[in-house]
Structure 1
Amino acid sequence: MKKATSVFWITLSITFIISLWGALSPVGFENITNTVMNYISVRFGWYYLLLVTFFVVFCIFLIFSPYGKIKLGKPRDKPEFSYPTWIAMLFSAGMGIGLVFYGVASPVSHYIKTPPMAEPGTKEALEDALRVTFFHYGIHAWAIYGSIALVLAYFTFRHGKPGLISKTLEPLFGDKMNTFWGLLVDIIAVMATIVGVATTLGFGATQINGGLSYLLGIGNEFWVQLLIILAVTVLFMISAYTGLGKGIKYLSNTNMSLAGLLFIATLILGPTQYILNSFTNSMGEYIQKLPVESFRIAPNDSEGIQWVRDWTIFFWAWWIAWAPFVGIFIARVSKGRTIREFLSGILIVPTVVSLLWFSTFGMSGVKAQNSGADIAGLPDEQALFGMFDHFPFGVVLSILGLMLIGTFFITSADSATFVLGMQTTNGSLSPSTTIKFVWGFAQSTIAAVLLYTGGLQALQNALISAAFPFSIIMFLMIISFYKALSKEQKK
């Protein structure tokens, strides 16, 4: 613990206080987070839409600008990981459990229960269902990740700065980032990471519990989810002990293998032609309506604006809360790539894979729903298993799905312990095992507390609350990065 900074001790203390508060006063904790979440989503929904769209435009601008040829590192630096492994690592860290949790649930829900504009269960609602799912998991999400990862990789590998969020703001604020203000920036980044990852771990534990409940009749209860969190905590700490080049690398490749196997099986055993037709059609609609959807907040439609708050604002907050974790991790494994190669890879490949995933699982779920299965009536965490129940080899696919959730769970937590270790040891690229273990335990504790205080709703409340302050820092990082980039080009 010798390398631990004040950021480590302050954020660990805050995490302990939050955990204790949630455990001793779950009702009060839930009420406070709910009040904060409602205030932010109502008052600042427009801000989230404009900010995330700005990230998309900025990334596209850099790809086609002369800045794109600049390397994230020294001129002779080469990428540390092969392209397929690099894609696997950033994809596992960047989406993970969300794909499995919402793969069936989101499209079916938008079709039957919560369509954005059309009447539930209609042909119009079905056409909107996949398009808006594409929107929430497409280029906007990866532009958020890509923006922060790019800034961190640029300052870390090209300018030799420590891998800290505060150091990326020095071109704007100078020596102030070595004072209280820099400390505050890093504390906000670490807290956003803790809540973002804890939320995802909570979703993962809930879905594993949902699968076990659906398949084996095991109770869908908090104590079961707590046992799942404890078991996975032990597993990801073992992985964290082996380091970046072994544990996370091998787990990421395992994730992609399991995800690929489940994807191919679902595509073949499901309504293949319908899936491919829906993907093609929805892709066209997604591209066509992307500008309008990016700014849609429906101020004159009470139901429409509530839908935007419940879905779009929630997802944008989720990606922003995950941004420091995913961004730092992606930056760490991206040394030696040019800005153009980096952003093209991040924006295009994971987006296309995500859209194929949602087409395959979402439309298979819709087909099962239209054939008489009540997929929409199941809790979100059981939708995947309810769909597999109507497939050949459904039990085998459900077991494979549980394995995939588990490996995504472990990889996300493992990657997060590494990132939190970096952020609380002055940007060390090799944080100590002890510090990673402490953060692993802290993440699991927060996830358990959030589930205990209010289940999935508490997870969402905490997420939106934690994302807001960091979103302001992200905007400042982009301005600081562009200032440094312009100065370099003038030399």
Structure 2
Amino acid sequence: MTSEKKTDSPKHSDHHDPTGLIRSPTGEVVPHPALDLPISSEQDQRKGIDWVVFGVAAVLAIAFMAWGILATESLSKASGAALAWVMDKTGWFFVLTASAFVVYVIWLAVSKYGAIPLGRDDEKPEFKTVSWIAMMFSAGMGIGLMFYGVSEPITHFVTPPPGTGEAGNPEAIQHAMSTTMFHWTLHPWAVYAVVGLAIGYGAYRKGRVSLISSAFAPLLGKRATDGPAGKVIDMFAIFATLFGSATSLGLGALQIRSGLQIVGNVGEVGNAVIVGIIAALTACFVISAVSGVAKGIQWLSNINMVLALILALFLFVVGPTVFILDLIPTSLGTYIGDLAQMSARTGAEGSETATWLSSWTVFYWAWWISWTPFVGMFIARISRGRTIRQFVAGVLLVPSAVSVLWFCILGGTAIDLQRDGTANIAEAGGLESQLFTTLEQFPLATVASIIVMVLVAIFFVSGADAASIVMGTLSEHGTEQPTRPTVIFWGVATGVVAGLGLIAGGEDALSGLQTITIVAALPFTVIMVGLAVSLQRDLAHDPLIVRSQYAEEAVQQAVITGVTEHGDDFAIAVIEDDHSNGNGGGSAAGAVTTDKT
């Protein structure tokens, strides 16, 4: 059996031409669905501020800030009541959707859709792999790793999660680490990947604008996404981004304040110092944001990757090296074994579990979801030219692997100190001070603590940098280079909301941030479910998938005909389908000829 390609002249040029364009029944020329043809970007036709999206979102944000400033106690009570309702009625929804996203993106990567590129068929990635990973990781959760790197493992070790035994049980260490890995590995990055894939595919494969609403075109239709429904979706994306990034800024401010108290020996400080820290960080990331991705985020991310590596290697060498090495496989094994049970844990297990979930798992899922508009849009922007399989592998596996090493080094060191009685890390003030207390037990503690504060500051600047740009993008019809006044407005708003969240939380400032994050993330969780459905509809009609379907059908028909009519002596040729068999659609047909060779 051999194959050959005939070059017969088309018989029906009124239906299609050699450029791959076909004509609809009305005579309109449209691209053939099986071909990857250049598509003009919608962005060329959309410029300037979307005054509906920006105006409404800005007014509501200002109203919220005024509420917090003028009636802080009222805001605190209202947010607490809203949190109670969300946890009581919808906690299961956060748990279910986060796990469903993990399954979905892994399935996409290993399925036939994994070969689809986020761009043209022959397009190359815009950024080198190392810089791509550094920017993605820094924007995705860098500041959280600094805040919770010690505090979460040590908290779960001293106070085990519900259902894992009493404090001090033999398996407390493994369950503490597996719970931490559950919160910081596959689930958050799968959430980011869903939005990143939807935005990246739509913008660089379909030519749509970089808006959350534009990704809904396959589900709602372009008219709906350009109308009120699309504007509401983009406004919810702005609010989720605003509150999610404000939470990160608040955590960073708390940790820097703790570092100043310990390293600078300045004693207890009040809200004025926190507000000052937030103001300084806000000014830094606004300056970074208006400098652009290449100059700002990429430069900061590469610096932070080096500093974080230095800190981790330092603790690995001076800390309990053998214990850390033992902890890595043990923790991974327990994580894999407990994954199904942890993924299904809800408030139905009792009030103790419900309370624990609101402080940990549901808070995390809400936090990650509130970050998805800007992290998803940002990683889509830096992932142009990569296939879905490469995207998922990079977004899901690489940061997860780094998180495992990070928590085993920092958390393992703290647990070892706590277990041996060297230091009482768990009682060392608030969560924000436990990393500094851990570092105090080793040489060069002051230098290491200064590095931590620099890391926290730069991690936040790089993350909030991306958030400000994305909120500007959502406010200006999806432009990748929003104007400076818009970026500055959202940057300042993020700082103010962070300060209000800390003040509204009272003595337990962290609780105020968690409350605002969970409540703000609920509507966007619903949007994300629709986003996944819309993405799947898009992928099912991708040119690569259509070509595969055409090829499979044509080859199967040709082989059956060839074997039936000629036995083993036949060749397959490509000719134009004249529709004489009643088969519409204008696809190429496999013609079978006798092989005379």
> Aligning the two structures, in what range does the TM-score lie when normalised by the shorter sequence?
over 0.9
Which whole-Å CA distance do the structure 1 matches of 2:274 and 2:155 have between them?
24
**1:452-463 aligned within 5 A:** 452-454=503-505, 455-463=509-517
Secondary structure of the corresponding residue to residue 210 of structure 2: coil
Which whole-Å CA distance do the structure 1 matches of 2:472 and 2:168 have between them?
47
Task: Determine which of 113, 119, 130 is the counterpart of 2:177.
Answer: 130
1:4 aligns with 2:58: no
Task: Determine which of 190, 209, 222 is the counterpart of 1:162.
Answer: 209
- The residue aligned with 1:47 is 93
Task: Determine which of 424, 432, 443 is the counterpart of 1:374.
Answer: 424
Q: TM-score, normalised by structure 2?
A: 0.80
What one-letter code is carried by the residue in structure 1 that aligns with 2:115?
Answer: K
Identity %: 39
Larger Rg: 2
Task: Determine which of 333, 341, 349 is the counterpart of 2:382.
Answer: 333
- The residue aligned with 1:21 is 67
Secondary structure of the corresponding residue to residue 451 of structure 2: helix
Question: Greater shift after overlay, 361-370 or 112-121?
Answer: 112-121
- The residue aligned with 2:537 is 483
Shift of 1:114: 4.7
**1:131-210 aligned within 5 A:** 131-174=178-221, 175-210=223-258
- The residue aligned with 1:255 is 304
Shift of 1:298: 5.9
- Structure 1 contact 201–447 (Cα < 8 Å) conserved: yes
- Structure 2 contact 79–516 (Cα < 8 Å) conserved: yes
- The residue aligned with 1:313 is 362
Question: Greater shift after overlay, 246-255 or 427-436?
Answer: 427-436
- The residue aligned with 1:303 is 352
What one-letter code is carried by the residue in structure 1 that aligns with 2:514?
Answer: Q
Which whole-Å CA distance do the structure 2 matches of 1:311 and 1:244 have between them?
32
1:397 aligns with 2:428: no
- Measured against aligned partners, the alpha-carbon deviations of 1:262-305 in whole angstroms (never above 9, x if no partner) come to 11111111101101111110011112221222112262443233
Gaps of 5+ in 2: 1-46, 548-597
1:443 aligns with 2:488: no
Which whole-Å CA distance do the structure 1 matches of 2:91 and 2:54 have between them?
32
- Structure 2 contact 92–347 (Cα < 8 Å) conserved: no
Give RMSD over aligned pairs.
Answer: 1.3
Which whole-Å CA distance do the structure 1 matches of 2:245 and 2:364 have between them?
14
Which whole-Å CA distance do the structure 2 matches of 1:342 and 1:144 have between them?
13
- Measured against aligned partners, the alpha-carbon deviations of 1:151-175 in whole angstroms (never above 9, x if no partner) come to 1000010001010111111111112
Which whole-Å CA distance do the structure 1 matches of 2:305 and 2:539 have between them?
35
Which whole-Å CA distance do the structure 1 matches of 2:445 and 2:299 have between them?
27
- Structure 2 contact 160–176 (Cα < 8 Å) conserved: no
- Structure 1 contact 92–252 (Cα < 8 Å) conserved: yes
- Measured against aligned partners, the alpha-carbon deviations of 1:298-335 in whole angstroms (never above 9, x if no partner) come to 62443233322321111111100111110011011110
Task: Determine which of 345, 350, 365 is the counterpart of 2:399.
Answer: 350
Shift of 1:241: 2.5
Which whole-Å CA distance do the structure 2 matches of 1:119 and 1:288 have between them?
19
- Structure 1 contact 109–115 (Cα < 8 Å) conserved: no
- Measured against aligned partners, the alpha-carbon deviations of 1:122-155 in whole angstroms (never above 9, x if no partner) come to 3232221011000000101110001110110000
Secondary structure of the corresponding residue to residue 160 of structure 1: coil
- The residue aligned with 2:573 is none
Shift of 1:86: 0.3
- Structure 1 contact 115–125 (Cα < 8 Å) conserved: no
- The residue aligned with 2:589 is none
Which whole-Å CA distance do the structure 2 matches of 1:387 and 1:50 have between them?
36
- The residue aligned with 1:276 is 325
Q: TM-score, normalised by structure 1?
A: 0.98
Which whole-Å CA distance do the structure 2 matches of 1:183 and 1:22 have between them?
26
Secondary structure of the corresponding residue to residue 448 of structure 2: helix
- Structure 1 contact 42–309 (Cα < 8 Å) conserved: no
Secondary structure of the corresponding residue to residue 278 of structure 2: helix
Gaps of 5+ in 1: none
